[in-house]
C-alpha cells in the first residue's frame, strides 16, 4: 500500500471535490418534494392493502 504525504493527500482530495457537480437549490427542492409525494403514495397503497387483507381475514375467520 502506497503511503502519501499529507500535503499530496489534501491536494488530491481538493482535486476530487472540485469534480463534484453540486445540485442547484431548485433541483434539491424538486427532489425533496418528489420523495415526499412518493412516500405519501406508498403509505396510502400499503394502508389500502392492509385494509383489504384485514377485511379478507375477518370475513374468512367469521365463517368459522
Given CA atoms 36, 37, 38, 39 in this order, what sign does their dihedral have? positive
Element counts in the chain: helices (H) and strands (E): 2, 0
Please report which confidence band the pLDDT of residue 2 belongs to, taking 50, 70 and 90 as the band edges. Answer: low
Q: In Å, how far are 28, 44, 60 from 53, measured between CA atoms? A: 37, 14, 10
For 30-52, how does the pLDDT look when each residue is reduced to its tens digit (9 = 90+)? 999 999 999 999 999 999 999 99
Amino acid at each position: 500500500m502506497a503511503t502519501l504525504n499529507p500535503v499530496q493527500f489534501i491536494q488530491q482530495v481538493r482535486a476530487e471535490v472540485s469534480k463534484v457537480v453540486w445540485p442547484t437549490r431548485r433541483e434539491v427542492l424538486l427532489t425533496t418534494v418528489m420523495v415526499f409525494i412518493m412516500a405519501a403514495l406508498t403509505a396510502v397503497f400499503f394502508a389500502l392493502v392492509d385494509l383489504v387483507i384485514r377485511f379478507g381475514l375477518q370475513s374468512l375467520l367469521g365463517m368459522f
